């Protein structure tokens, strides 16, 4: 199963749900080199940038060139006279088998790191500040060489050589842990681990909504991108952006992913609640989450209302207990009050972003006059949060609070129309001076998420502007910036390229506003372009080509679970 569903290891790290390990491929000196890597924040603060060590295949003392390929089941290395496979066992154990050659793993250890025997045939490696690794032969033998420079407190020339048994076969296991770990008395057969991996992915794939036949392979790839980025932090499901430069998640991305799980309601619910574990005493949610860090230097938009607005139409949360409902209600209430209290510096009732980063659209022309900036998308998110808090209050029997949230939502809607609508579009304004920002950002269309709350005249004008070919609308989706704007920058983030989250927000806005024909047109243009370009986060609206390399470089796997989530929602809604 999934034998024909290839994964590009230079763009997508190979992993399994819950695995900290991942595998990725680089070209070095004209040859392929597979690296064993780990999604750990501590490794990002070192020279390793996630990489632990390369995989070397050796015979008769000479390294052999190999070709690495991957499917959701495993990674396969083929070389002259043999082959090898790698896969992920549960509990953060990496497995590898090979026939016809030795496997050499050589960690480049730094000062105060160590490789030591456990006297049971296994060796432990400490890489500061994390992780600890335990290398164990399963079939065949392991030979270890290591020296130590006591002056510099650094091990030297450390190498683990795994040699095959008399039948030419070897099997090894590498455990990853933070404090203590032990080799297993008996390891499951390698093929059993592969079969369990395939079954785990198949079980997840069964929860992904159906799509049109032309997207059948893309559905598998997008679902793999999400499944392989699910990690558990503090026993909570966290979906990382990617296994490369964005080994983290943000609070609003968990809400996007909740929408993507609309046919998997329990998982969607867990994602909605996950970030409230980290809410501080003021009601603020952290911006970024990793295995080791919680960043409160800024934040991201209050997006739970958008997710709830979508999910209440497509997902049944009747299973949620009163305690769970209260957790969401209390957390979201505090989150809304935080924005109203700490992001309204001029006290005019209109909240602001202090920085562009807080909006999620880092380089948008919304912020070309600096910050703080009062933005219509932020007001939209808060209106939806308040309306959905009213729904939650009703379900909890809080009749007064229901009325109060509805009143606040109506008042925020009135302010939004009066303050941001200029007769043609929703324009941001400088907080304090209220000066309008003249810009061509796709963010001006995000208030479409308010749907029928908006006057029909506004919906008509916004839809007409949006669907004019060559302005924002391209053959590949919607550009992040009007294409004739001076601010347009093709290799940016939201300042020009076709960006996944923007497609979802605007298309859902069209959907909520009753403009499904237009939503379908944009969605299918985007989904087809994404499939053809192999799922980049950003594409050129003029060519449909991947332009992510211009922003992040080809150095790391850069395909994002966030993009895959957008694809799964839009393609399932509009491709059947």
Asked if residue 5 is part of any domain, the answer here is: no
Asked if residue 502 is part of any domain, the answer here is: yes
Same structural domain, 144 and 42: yes
Residue 206 burial by CB count (10 A; 0-12/13-18/19+): exposed, middle or buried?
A: exposed
Helix axes 456-466, 500-512, angle to 10 degrees: 140
CA distances to 438, 439, 474, 487, 498 from 483, rounded to whole Å, are 15, 12, 9, 9, 11
Q: In the structure, what pLDDT confidence band is assigned to residue 149 with cuts at 50, 70 and 90? A: confident
Asked if residue 460 is part of any domain, the answer here is: yes
Among candidate residues 198, 228, 255, the one where a domain is terminated? 198
Asked if residue 12 is part of any domain, the answer here is: no
Same structural domain, 354 and 496: yes
Neighbours of 94 (CB within 10 A): 25
Is the model's pLDDT at 553 over the cut of 60?
no
Lowest mean pLDDT among 31-45, 178-192, 429-443, 478-492: 31-45
As for how many domains the chain has, the answer is: 2
Same structural domain, 456 and 509: yes
What stretch of H or E contains 451?
none
Calculate the average pLDDT of the chain: 95
| Contact (Cβ atoms closer than 8 angstroms) between residue 63 and residue 102 | no
Q: For 125-156, b where at least 16 C-beta lie within 10 A, e where not — what string?
A: bbbeebbbbbbbbbbbebeeebeeeeeeebbe
State the CATH number of the domain containing residue 476: 1.50.10.10
Asked if residue 7 is part of any domain, the answer here is: no
First-last CA distance in the chain: 24
Residue 200 CA to residue 178 CA, distance in Å, equals: 25
Identify which has the larger pLDDT, 110 or 338. 338
Bridge partners (DSSP) of residue 427 are none
Highest averaged pLDDT of the listed ranges 23-27, 87-91, 147-151, 487-491: 87-91
Among candidate residues 166, 181, 198, the one where a domain is terminated? 198
Asked if residue 376 is part of any domain, the answer here is: yes
Give the mean model confidence (pLDDT) for residues 304-321: 97
Query: For position 555, what pLDDT does the model report?
Result: 54
Lowest mean pLDDT among 95-99, 481-485, 555-559: 555-559
Among candidate residues 143, 167, 198, the one where a domain is terminated? 198
Same structural domain, 302 and 184: no
Query: For position 389, what pLDDT does the model report?
Result: 99
Query: For position 252, what pLDDT does the model report?
Result: 96
Is the model's pLDDT at 551 over the cut of 80?
no
Phi, psi dihedral angles at 512 (to 5 degrees): -60, -30
Helices (H), 240-346: 251-260, 265-274, 304-314, 322-342
Same structural domain, 377 and 398: yes
Same structural domain, 188 and 219: no
Q: Is the peptide bond before 129 cis (omega within 30 degrees of 0)?
A: yes
Query: For position 47, what pLDDT does the model report?
Result: 65
Lowest mean pLDDT among 65-69, 71-75, 369-373: 369-373
Asked if residue 245 is part of any domain, the answer here is: yes
Asked if residue 477 is part of any domain, the answer here is: yes
Same structural domain, 55 and 29: yes
Domain that residue 110 falls in: 21-198
Same structural domain, 165 and 302: no
Residue 296 CA to residue 161 CA, distance in Å, equals: 44
- Output the six-digit token pair for 54: 């390369």
Phi, psi dihedral angles at 125 (to 5 degrees): -120, 130
Neighbours of 411 (CB within 10 A): 13
Same structural domain, 192 and 233: no
Same structural domain, 418 and 565: yes
Same structural domain, 57 and 162: yes
Give the mean model confidence (pLDDT) for residues 536-556: 80
| Contact (Cβ atoms closer than 8 angstroms) between residue 571 and residue 509 | no
Same structural domain, 155 and 292: no
């Amino acid at each position: 199963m999934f034998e024909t569903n290839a994964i590009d290891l230079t763009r997508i790290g190979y992993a399994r749900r819950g695995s900290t390990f991942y595998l990725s491929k680089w070209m070095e000196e004209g040859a392929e080199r597979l690296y064993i890597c780990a999604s750990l924040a501590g490794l990002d603060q070192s020279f390793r940038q996630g990489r632990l060590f390369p995989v070397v295949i050796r015979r008769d003392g000479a390294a052999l060139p190999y070709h690495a390929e991957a499917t959701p089941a495993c990674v396969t290395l083929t070389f002259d006279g043999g082959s090898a496979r790698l896969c992920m066992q549960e509990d953060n154990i990496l497995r590898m088998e090979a026939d016809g050659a030795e496997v050499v793993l050589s960690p480049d250890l730094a000062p105060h790191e160590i490789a030591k025997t456990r006297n049971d045939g296994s060796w432990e490696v400490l890489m500061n500040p994390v992780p600890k690794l335990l290398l164990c032969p399963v079939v065949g033998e392991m030979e270890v060489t290591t020296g130590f420079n006591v002056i510099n407190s650094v091990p030297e020339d450390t190498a683990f050589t795994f040699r095959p048994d008399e039948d030419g076969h070897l099997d090894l296991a590498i455990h990853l842990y933070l404090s203590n770990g032990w080799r297993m008395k008996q390891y499951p057969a390698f093929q059993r681990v592969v079969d369990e991996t395939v079954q785990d992915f198949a079980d997840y794939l069964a929860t992904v909504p159906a799509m049109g036949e032309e997207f059948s392979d893309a559905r598998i790839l997008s679902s793999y991108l999400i499944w392989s980025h699910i990690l558990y932090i503090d026993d909570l499901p966290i979906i990382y952006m990617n296994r490369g430069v964005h080994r983290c998640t943000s609070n609003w991305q968990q809400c996007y992913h909740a929408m993507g799980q609309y046919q998997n309601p329990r998982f969607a619910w867990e994602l909605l609640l996950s970030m409230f574990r980290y809410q501080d005493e003021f009601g603020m949610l952290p911006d970024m989450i990793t295995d080791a860090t919680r960043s409160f230097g800024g934040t991201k938009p209050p997006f739970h209302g958008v997710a709830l607005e979508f999910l209440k139409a497509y997902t049944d949360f009747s299973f949620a207990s009163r305690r769970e409902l209260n957790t969401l209600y209390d957390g979201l209430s505090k989150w809304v009050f935080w924005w109203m209290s700490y992001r309204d510096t001029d006290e005019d009732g209109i909240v602001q972003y202090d920085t562009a980063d807080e909006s999620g659209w880092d380089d948008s022309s919304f912020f070309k006059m600096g910050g703080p900036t009062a933005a219509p998308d932020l007001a939209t998110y808060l209106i939806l949060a308040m309306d959905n808090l009213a729904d939650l209050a009703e379900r909890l029997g809080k009749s007064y609070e229901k009325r109060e949230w509805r009143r606040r939502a109506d008042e925020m809607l009135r302010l939004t129309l009066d303050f941001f609508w200029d007769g043609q579009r929703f324009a941001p304004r400088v907080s304090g001076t209220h000066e309008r920002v003249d810009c061509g950002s796709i963010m001006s269309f995000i208030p479409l998420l308010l749907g029928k709350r908006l006057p029909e005249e506004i919906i008509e004008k916004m839809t007409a502007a949006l669907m004019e070919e060559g302005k924002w609308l391209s053959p590949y989706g919607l550009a992040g910036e009007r294409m004739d704007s001076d601010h347009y920058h093709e290799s940016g983030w939201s300042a020009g390229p076709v960006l996944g989250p923007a497609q979802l927000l605007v298309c859902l806005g069209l959907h909520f506003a009753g403009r499904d024909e237009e939503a379908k047109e944009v969605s299918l243009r985007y989904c087809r372009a994404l499939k053809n370009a192999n799922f980049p986060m950003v594409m050129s609206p003029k060519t449909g080509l991947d332009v992510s390399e211009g922003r992040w470089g080809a150095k790391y796997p850069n395909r994002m679970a966030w993009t895959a989530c957008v694809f799964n929602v839009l393609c399932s809604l509009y491709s059947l």
